[in-house]
């Protein structure tokens, strides 16, 4: 029996590309990763300003 955890891919897009012929993962955008990043920037604005001083303005809700 193989260890399924050793087969984990970095993202859903990479996993999809592994199983579907013709998919180029470099041409897809990971919107979930972007949402996590934006939410973190809103939650910790001071840290975001220090780590990413030239980032785009924070989005409004």
Q: Is this structure's pTM higher than 0.85?
A: no
pLDDT at site 29: 74
Tens digit of pLDDT at every position of the chain (61 positions): 455 654 666 777 888 888 888 988 888 777 777 888 889 989 999 998 888 888 765 554 4
Scored b (16 or more CB within 10 A) or e, 11-45 reads eebeeebeeeeeeebeeeeeeeeeeeeeeebeeee
Q: Using alpha carbons, list the distances in angstroms from residue 29 to 2, 13, 25, 51.
A: 31, 9, 8, 23
The span from the CA of 29 to the CA of 39, in Å, is: 17
């Amino acid at each position: 029996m193989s260890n399924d955890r050793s087969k984990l891919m970095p993202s859903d897009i990479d996993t999809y590309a592994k199983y579907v012929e013709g998919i180029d993962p470099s041409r897809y955008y990971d919107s979930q990763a972007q949402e996590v990043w934006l939410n973190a920037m809103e939650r910790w604005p001071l840290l975001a300003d220090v780590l990413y001083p030239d980032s785009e303005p924070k989005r409004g809700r």
